[in-house]
Structure 1
């Protein structure tokens, strides 16, 4: 038995017990929180719920971070309420992290929508899902973004379009950035990375998720670690440009410059980790 190629008993045996206990605890907290939020949405007038949603979202995010044993270390000042914020995308934990920080609404990958329970809670706190492969969906997402921002709510967007292992920041897709251009609204930005204890495998494999293995399996493996630290760097000034491509490039440069590259396992080691089916491994690595 190994844990990301480590045979250290702290990682394998003790880590597996810790991961199972934390997964059960997290599930209990998640389900309880979901029921509370759904109840609040059902009993409160819609105008009241919308007014309280940022506060509710922050509390939900903080509770889920605590249940995940993820500690946030922040640099810089939080963007103001009603801001459009972009950041690089490393993990499923990004949503909880920024939810606890900003109480914001999100535009996230449609793959999360397929996760029963997970998607329900995200929708309740104001998350919208987008299939970037669909031109129709992108147009609909732009309309949703405009409504959110025009109502004065904060909005978080991950322009990379998918998660990574945090070695660098992928090129930003510009489609959704047409919205701040149309609204002539500057965009705030942040960079995010994660750390594990020194004696543990790097956070790039522990918490970084590239859409495999299945999310539940990945969360269980992440919960093996005694703690995970999330470092967020907020930009000093917002950025605006007259066209979306220039805006995407400028934001990408800002986020990349402030991004702390997460340590990576060698490619040879990644090939040996059982995180992909054989077909996917051939497609990704060519072996």
Structure 2
């Protein structure tokens, strides 16, 4: 019995190592494409949109396959330009949404400082914000508006942090001013993860929240046999003239479709 457990643990670690190497290799293959897109963007910004979206979608779908993630898309994904908002559970959300949508993410400035991942995120068109600085928030709103006016979709996580998936936290309303100014309907989405009954629960093995350290959590995720990810795209409703009421109505829509990833 002890030997069988040790053998199973060894196989899990081998799987994690192989997946990690495969992720690095797959990302390295896409890197020259994104460098080329970045150079093209400096010359013809609009001409670079489609190649960047195609490359990031291909990269994300490849990463999900390597990780053993089965993606279930419910509803109709919005078409650019759009303003998509939803709950935030994990760094895996980025892959799930990149595989489902053609848009640019807004992320915390700290994400841009992560070695390799931060650089790749910039090449993929991610925008970064220092939420504690109001002046920076104004700058980011202008960048989001520019992206929308250029025909792109933008994806935000209004909770302001990732959670264990027990509930949807109240939404911060500031970013919804972009949708108000551009007269865009909100495209709400809800994320949910599930793992095999024998695996550590999803709120510990997939969701990344609180004071969890990145590398130990990633190792645990790489060791999982399979992950079921579901993104539900909720019917868009007309935008409003008040960002606070718009944020609240969007939260209510998502709450109605939300299924907890945390089962305790």
Pair in the same fold by TM > 0.5:
yes
Q: 2:22 maps to which residue?
A: 25
Q: Deviations over 1:16-66 (max 9, x none)?
A: 222222112212222332233224433685343234222222212212222
Structure 1: segments with no counterpart, 5+ residues? 1-7, 266-287
Within-5 A mapping of 1:97-108: 97-108=96-107
Within-5 A mapping of 1:222-237: 222-237=221-236
Q: Given the superposition, is the C-alpha separation of residues 204 and 9 from structure 1 closer, same or farther in structure 2, using an over 3 Å criterion?
A: farther
Work out the CA distance in 2 between the residues paired with 1:168 and 1:112. Answer: 23
Deviates more, 1:126-135 or 1:65-74: 65-74
Q: 2:218 maps to which residue?
A: 219
Structure 2: segments with no counterpart, 5+ residues? none
Work out the CA distance in 2 between the residues paired with 1:11 and 1:213. Answer: 25
Structure 1 vs Structure 2 CA RMSD: 2.0
- The answer to whether the Cα contact below 8 Å between 2:70 and 2:227 also exists between their aligned partners in 1 is yes
- The answer to whether the Cα contact below 8 Å between 2:103 and 2:155 also exists between their aligned partners in 1 is yes
Structure 1 SS opposite 2:167: coil
Report the CA distance between 1:216 and its aligned residue. 2.7
Report the CA distance between 1:81 and its aligned residue. 2.0
Q: 1:42 maps to which residue?
A: 39
Q: 2:201 maps to which residue?
A: 202
Q: 1:188 maps to which residue?
A: 187
Q: 1:166 maps to which residue?
A: 165
Q: Given the superposition, is the C-alpha separation of residues 112 and 11 from structure 1 closer, same or farther in structure 2, using an over 3 Å criterion?
A: farther
Q: Given the superposition, is the C-alpha separation of residues 10 and 206 from structure 1 closer, same or farther in structure 2, using an over 3 Å criterion?
A: farther
Within-5 A mapping of 1:37-76: 37-42=34-39, 46-47=44-45, 48-76=47-75
Q: 1:245 maps to which residue?
A: 244
- The answer to whether the Cα contact below 8 Å between 1:191 and 1:255 also exists between their aligned partners in 2 is yes
Work out the CA distance in 1 between the residues paired with 2:138 and 2:56. Answer: 26
Aligned residue pairs: how many?
259
- The answer to whether the Cα contact below 8 Å between 2:105 and 2:156 also exists between their aligned partners in 1 is yes
Work out the CA distance in 1 between the residues paired with 2:8 and 2:206. Answer: 15
Deviates more, 1:204-213 or 1:129-138: 204-213
- The answer to whether the Cα contact below 8 Å between 1:188 and 1:239 also exists between their aligned partners in 2 is no
